[in-house]
Amino acid sequence: MCGIIAYNGQKDAIPYLIDGIRNLEYRGYDSFGCAVDTDDGIIVKKDIGRIDDVVEKYKINAMSAKRAIFHTRWATHGSVTKDNAHPMVDCAGKVAVVHNGIIENWEELKSELGTHKFVSDTDTEVLAHLVEERMKTGDSLDSAVRYTFGRIKGSSSFVVLNKGNDEMVAVKKGSPLVLGLAKSGTFVSSDVPSFIKHTNKVIYLNDGDMVRISKNKYEITNLIDKNIRHKINTVNLAVKDLGKGEHEHFMLKEIMEQQELLKNLESTDLSATQKAAALIKKARTVYLVGAGTSFHVARLGARLMRDNGMNAVPVQGQDLPSYKKILSKKDVFVIISQSGETADIINSLSVMNGNKKIGIINVEGSKLAYESDILINVGAGPERAVASTKAFTLSAVHITLLALFAAGKKKEALRDLNLMNINMYNLLVPSVMEAIDRAAQRIKGLESIFFLGRDYDYILALEGALKLKEIAYIHAEAIDAATFKHGPLALVTNKTYAVVIVSEDTKKDIMNNLQEFKARKGKLVGIAESNAESFDLFIRMQSGGVFTFVMPTILLQLLAYKTSRQKNIDPDYPRSLAKSVTVL
C-alpha cells in the first residue's frame, strides 16, 4: 500500500501537500517523493526515508506551485531505492506519475516500449511511458490516460501530472482514491484525513473513474459504467482526531481512546446491526471473512455464533475460493476489514456474487463498504499506527453484538456492554500499568515467546502474539493451551516464557494445563482476574460479561507497546509493514 495526495487550485499546493502526506505516512514509509509543476517545468524530488527527512534534505517546503503530486511508498515492486521512489517520469521529464497498486502485465508493456529509457525496477514506470507514447501521436493528456487505463491489468490507482498542462488526471482501479472539494481547489488522495483541515466535502471514487482536475473545476467520467453517479458527502471528522494529543505515539493514543469509544457505543444507533442480525437468522451458513487482525475478529464472531446455535465459519480472504463448490445462495457473508481495502478479500468478492454481504468496516466509502448490502460502521475513527488496536477492539465488539442480536439476546448484550464499561474504569489503574511495565522489562530481551489461552482466550492469544511480532520484533506463537502438550511442550526450559490469558470460564481447565508448563521450569506472565501460584508475573484484568475479551485485549496491546518502547522501536511505523495490504 502507498499514499497519494495531489492538489490543483488557486493556492500554493506545497504547504497543503506536505501536511497532507504526513497524514498518509501510515500507508508506507520506505520512501517519499513529489512532482511539482513550476514555470521551469516539472521538478521531481524524491529519496528513501521518512517524509520529514526528505522534505528537509531537498528543501521541498521552500518550493511553490499551484499543481503538485506527492507520494509515500510501501515497496511492493522493486526494492527500497531512490530510483524506485515515486513519482516516475517519462523520457522527456514532461509526464510524472504516482501510483498505488500492482500492474500485473508490466513486463509485456515494458517490452512494447523498448525504445524508452527506464531507470527504475518498478512496474509504475510503464505508466509514464505509456502516457508519453500516446501523447507523441497527438493524444490529449486525458485521452492518453484513458488508453493507459485500458492497457494495464491489476489493481492500480494513479495520478498524472503533465508539464505546462492546467489539468492533472487521476484514475481509480482497486486501490482507494477520494476527491476533496475545497473552495480554493481540488484534492485527490488515498484517504480523507490528508485534506480534512481544508474541506470535509468528499466524493468517494468508484473503480473505473477518471477525473480531470483543473484549477477551478473537476470532471469525473467512469470508463467502465457510464451510468454511475457521484454524491458529494460531508465527512464528520475533527482535525484534533488526527494528532497524538498528549501521547508520545499514535499507538498509545489509540489504545487509550478505546475506553471512550466503547462507552459511546452504548448510545450509538444499532439499527444496522439489527437488520444484519435478521439476515444472519435466515442464513444456512454464515461465512465470516477477514485477513490478519480482522481474521481474529472473524474467528471470535464465528465461535460465538456457533455457541448460540448458528452454523458459522471463519475464512481468510485468500481461502474463500476453495469454498465455492459448497456455497448456497442462502449463505451470508460477513466481511471484516479495518480499511475496507484488503486485497485478499476484494479478490474473493466474485465468490460472494448473489449472496447478501454484511460489512463490519471502519472506513466509509471504501471498496468493501461499497460492496456491502448492510454496513456496520466500526466507528473507531482514524487509526494512524500501523498495528491495529481500537479498530480491532471495536470490530470485535460489533461482531459480538451482531451474534447476540441474531441469537435473540439483545437485552443481555446491552446489559453486558454496560457492565464492561463500568468495569473498564478499574482496568488501567497505576498498579496494573506498573505490572505491564515489569512484564515488558522481563520479555524485551527474548527471541521467542508463547501466548496461551483456551476457547475464546486462545483467539485473544493469537491477537496478542501478532501485536508483539508486529511492533517488538519478537517471535511469538499462540497455542491453544489444551494442545500444548502435543509437541510444543518439548521446547519448554527454564528460559521459556509464555503469556497466558485466564478468564473465569476457562480457569479450571487451563490451570491444569499450566502445571505441565511449570513442571518444566517455564515462566508465566498471567493475565487474569486474580493471581495464581503458577504466575511469575501477574497483570490483573476485569470482567465484562460476554465482552470480557475486551479487557485482556487492551492489556495485550499495552504489553506489546511497552515492550516495543523498551527496545527503542517506533511502534507507529514497524519495519516492512503498512496499515493495510492492498496488493495480493
The residues carrying an active-site annotation are 2, 579
Strands, sheet with 523-528, edge to edge from the N-terminal-most edge strand: 475-480, 448-453, 497-502, 523-528, 537-540
Query: 167 is written with which cell numbers?
Result: 489539468
303 in helix, strand or coil?
helix
Name the one residue in this structure whose C-alpha cell is 494529543. 245
Distance, CA of 327 to chain centre: 28
> Which residues on adjacent β-strands are paired with residue 287?
313, 333
Query: 499 is written with which cell numbers?
Result: 503469556
**Alpha-carbon distances, residue 411 vs 405, 417, 418, 545 (angstroms):** 9, 10, 11, 13
Contact 128, 88 (CB under 8 A): yes
DSSP-H helix ranges across 118-183: 125-136, 141-151
Cα distance between residue 369 and residue 542, in whole Å = 34
Count other Cβ atoms within 10 Å, centred on residue 572.
22
| Structure letter (DSSP) for residue 271 | H
442: amino acid identity, one letter: R
Strands 448-453 and 497-502, sheet pairing = parallel
Name the one residue in this structure whose C-alpha cell is 465482552. 547
Give the E-state strand segments of 408-486 in sequence order. 448-453, 475-480
